[in-house]
Structure 1
Amino acid sequence: MGRITASKKQLKGDPRHNSMLAGKFINCLMLDGKKTVAQKVFYDALAEIARRGETEGEEPIEVFEAALENIKPYIEVRSKRVGGASYQVPMQVNRARQQSLAIRWLLEAVRSKKGRPMHLKLADEIMAGYKKEGVAYTKRENTHRMADANKAFAHFAW
């Protein structure tokens, strides 16, 4: 009796671009099991990016991938207890966690904005990530800054 798990074996690429990253993003965007609604929001956002024409002839899916690449954190702080005290220890982030954090931060940034259709907010945040600005990119910068500030505790990362 096999269980359905959230593993890479189960993940399928999105129907239009056959991109595994886009498929994962659509699954994370989806609420209440409404995948077609999530796909429509995602593809409308990509269409909006293409319509704006700010990307010098790049495909919208490439803009999306570049935006996520810009948002990915490379180092983060983790709490570590040493001798009764807790320290914020900077540690490298593995690839799977980088991707999940980038997707999570992008969706948090989009969902925190109110008053506009979801696909427009998503298009705005993807473009902001592509240009290395916006809420999700700021979250990454703050994470890196905090890790840099706690470099003195790096020797606890064993």
Structure 2
Amino acid sequence: MPRKHRAVVREVLPDPKYNDITVTKFMNCLMVKGKKSIAEKIVYGAFDIIAAKTKEDPLVVFKSALDNVRPLVKVVSRRVGGATYQIPIEVNEKNGKALAFRWIIANARARSEKTMTEKLAAELIAAHKKEGASIKKREDTHKMAEANKAFAHLRW
């Protein structure tokens, strides 16, 4: 952590096709080794597959999938007097969105479909329907926080 100044938060330009900042941030999270054009092809291809399969606006499906996956609480390890406790803390909107991005991308990469475009589309559709590995990850996180609710007084 810097001692003198806060980190500068950069402005992200909205994506060219849907004019949405969230889609751009998702692309940046999906991007590997600075290959933004490939990340764009994957995301836009996944959106085309979503539009074909669900007959809905892909941006609406994407936003609802993000809302369904975004966690409200998480657990943080805190060492208190020789013992390590899992302490539940609330997640703000920005961090929750970042966690949802990571979970969706990680679970899409772990799927068994052929291309990353198909994997991402399937994971987003599953998250939109409140099923799939990303939703399970969110539920597990919430269960862990609920189980350790007794240690909530240790946060500071």
The offset of 1:80, in angstroms, is 1.0
Match of 1:7 in 2: 9
Structure 2 segments unaligned to the other structure (5+ residues): 1-6
Q: 1:84 maps to which residue?
A: 82
State the identity %. 45
CA shift, 1:7, in A, is: 3.0
* 1:1-158 alignment, distance < 5 Å: 7-9=9-11, 11-53=12-54, 58-158=56-156
Opposite residue 97 of structure 1, the aligned amino acid is N
What is the rounded CA distance, in whole Å, between the counterparts of 2:44 and 2:94 in structure 1?
Answer: 24
Contact 2:113 2:119 in 1 (8 A): no
Q: Which runs of 4+ in 1 moved over 6 A?
A: none
Q: Say if 2:46 and 2:118, in contact at 8 Å, map to a contact too.
A: yes
CA deviation string 1:85-140 (max 9, x = no partner): 11101110111110110000001001112451111110000001101111111100
- Aligned to 2:130, what secondary structure does the other structure show? coil
Q: Using the alignment, how far apart are the partners of 1:82 and 1:53 within structure 2?
A: 49
Secondary structure at the aligned position of 1:33 is classed as coil
**TM-score normalised according to structure 1 size:** 0.90
Look up the equivalent residue of 1:31 and give its one-letter code: V
C-alpha deviation, 1:50, in angstroms: 0.6
The one-character-per-residue Cα deviations of 1:37-67 (angstroms, maximum 9, x if unpaired) are 110110110000111135xxx3101110110
Q: 1:129 to 1:115 in 2, by over 3 A?
A: closer
Give the structure 1 partner of residue 3 of structure 2.
none
| C-alpha separation in 2, matches of 1:80 and 1:7 | 28
For residues 103 and 64 of structure 1, do their structure 2 counterparts lie closer, same or farther at Cα, with a shift above 3 Å needed?
same
